[in-house]
Chain A
């Protein structure tokens, strides 16, 4: 019995299939599982392990390295406030302090209603609109306490659901094409390309 919902299980199998080695699908599958559960549950990690041909411990071991992969429950909306240098120079510490007060939790914490997790992030690469704020990895460009409050109110009321659904949009657009040729065909093509390349190199050598 699959822990992933049937349509996500099918997606997971399609993702595994586009990689030359199944283990490469590990992180994409973690994102997929998080889009269903918000974080990496035990059964999800077991299922990812099985899909990638590794042990559940290896899934956890890999996931625990990365900021965007959560091995503990998080809120439906993960709010990240960057305080790295460019944002710090534009009042990021005050904005983060405001967010902590407004949400009633420190950075790294989750509101009791399970709606918001607040994070102090490193540079999010949007340094011309500072301080930079993301919700579920979408840039929201709320640089003032007032704008941030308004956004949090809107999210709590279920707004912006197209752009910022609970647990994010990382798995919204999928490949519409699978691998278009069997591995053997690709290998044969690659060998032919190598031969042609070697022949051209030899020819170039001979004429020079």
Chain B
């Protein structure tokens, strides 16, 4: 039986209250961390080999170690969860705000940071309420603020509401937004806000799920965490399963030990494809990821395993499309999303996303041309030259080069379906 690391309290109706949190061990990990040196806390997280849960999968310990030599000024928690079909942080924010806050304090102590921010997307009105309430309780409990649990360590946390922009999930864009500006990603290098972050100061940005793992890691030890999973993918992970499955939801399962088939078909997990139909395509890690197909079902859910198969585990969101799904429509909707959310700084993304969206629209709704399929690929090639994975970068951030993933996947696999849309003068299945 896999331990529940970040969802231990999810079955309690009052999981978000301080009473329930304290009755189930909240802030014990923090007390233990405060009895250790910051270096020893970092060493535990290193031993756990916790990979960042935001999408890029960068080792959290290594991110921190870049700052251990040159001191950090700010810690920023990224709770701007907006990658389509990713809804795991939503669960953690609403259902277990004290676990999140405890993780933030542990991370801040390890980094010796005295000011942290929790950035939560503005669409999470209830989540913002719960975290703000929990933070007030945590201050009163002595777990945040001056001289935490009489340890001499002080930390101030500010809950910051976002205002609705997908691109703010990109960490440099998030920092711009936190500075009160438009969410424009910053030009790299520097590649990490470690060098120049919030207000130009060294900053660590960690995902909500990443830090929510810390209380368990400190309580049980990094080695216990690393004993779960396999290879580089240690511990458990939250997978957000949606689309054509019987039981969509967020499931915490051990890394690598389960396959896509397990997640989709196990009775206690996805429960199978809806109506007993067949899988046509799977989006394996957010809509920025190249798609998988039925032959990938037995691939383990591990970061390197998925990367070697030519895609990414990304944000851990998996969308299942059954054999009735129109691939042109699915691709069009994903591209429409990118077109709406492009911040507009870089020409390939700003112009390219709109062109792609309009070509896909006319294929789906009538008016498609025979040359459109190749035109789509040519446009994609201009945004991410060579259509490789991982994509070549022509833009400031990865939003642009993520656009071709679904289009290239769908055309490579279902080219005839696109041609049928041209011949039929729109979607043959009559959408």
Footprint of B on A, CB under 8 Å? Answer: 18-21, 23-28, 30-31, 52, 54, 61-63, 65-69, 80, 83-86, 88-89, 93, 122-128, 130, 134, 136-139, 168-170, 172-177, 179-181, 186, 189-190, 193-194, 196-197, 200-201, 204
CB neighbours of A67 from chain B (8 A) = 163-165
B85 touches A84 (CB 8 A): yes
User: Whole-angstrom distance between the alpha carbons of A25 and B160 in the complex?
Assistant: 9
A27 touches B163 (CB 8 A): yes
From A128, A130, A136, A197, B125 is in contact (CB under 8 Å) with A136
CB neighbours of A200 from chain B (8 A) = 37, 39
B243 touches A89 (CB 8 A): yes
- With contacts A85-B283, A137-B125 known, what are 5 further pairs, Cβ within 8 A? A25-B180, A62-B181, A89-B321, A170-B128, A190-B114
A194 touches B112 (CB 8 A): yes
Question: Is B337 among interface residues, defined by CB-CB distance under 8 A?
Answer: yes
Closest to A59 in B: B180
14 contacts between A and B (CB under 8 A): A20-B115, A26-B181, A27-B161, A86-B319, A89-B325, A125-B86, A127-B85, A127-B248, A137-B123, A173-B133, A186-B156, A189-B114, A189-B154, A193-B112
B151-165, CB under 8 A of A: which get 1 and which 0? 000101011111111
B337 touches A84 (CB 8 A): yes
Question: Is B288 among interface residues, defined by CB-CB distance under 8 A?
Answer: no
Interface residues of B: mostly helix, strand, loop or mixed? mixed
User: Whole-angstrom distance between the alpha carbons of A89 and B248 in the complex?
Assistant: 12
B163 touches A30 (CB 8 A): yes
CB neighbours of A30 from chain B (8 A) = 163
Question: Is B132 among interface residues, defined by CB-CB distance under 8 A?
Answer: yes
A86 touches B85 (CB 8 A): yes
User: Whole-angstrom distance between the alpha carbons of A179 and B177 in the complex?
Assistant: 21
User: Whole-angstrom distance between the alpha carbons of A66 and B139 in the complex?
Assistant: 31
Nearest chain B CB to A155 CB, angstrom units: 15
CB neighbours of B69 from chain A (8 A) = 201
CB neighbours of B321 from chain A (8 A) = 89
Binds A, one of B52-60, B296-304, B328-336, B375-383: B328-336
User: Whole-angstrom distance between the alpha carbons of A27 and B160 in the complex?
Assistant: 9
CB neighbours of A137 from chain B (8 A) = 122-125
In the complex with contacts A27-B163, A85-B333, A169-B125, A176-B71 CB distance below 8 A: no
User: Whole-angstrom distance between the alpha carbons of A141 and B81 in the complex?
Assistant: 19
Closest to A181 in B: B146
User: Whole-angstrom distance between the alpha carbons of A174 and B161 in the complex?
Assistant: 12
Closest to B37 in A: A200
CB neighbours of A176 from chain B (8 A) = 136, 139-140
Nearest chain B CB to A162 CB, angstrom units: 12
User: Whole-angstrom distance between the alpha carbons of A137 and B177 in the complex?
Assistant: 19
CB neighbours of A168 from chain B (8 A) = 125
For chain B residues 159-212, which have a beta carbon within 8 Å of chain A?
A: 159-166, 177-183, 199
Closest 7 CB pairs of A and B: A67-B164, A26-B180, A66-B163, A68-B164, A137-B125, A127-B242, A23-B180
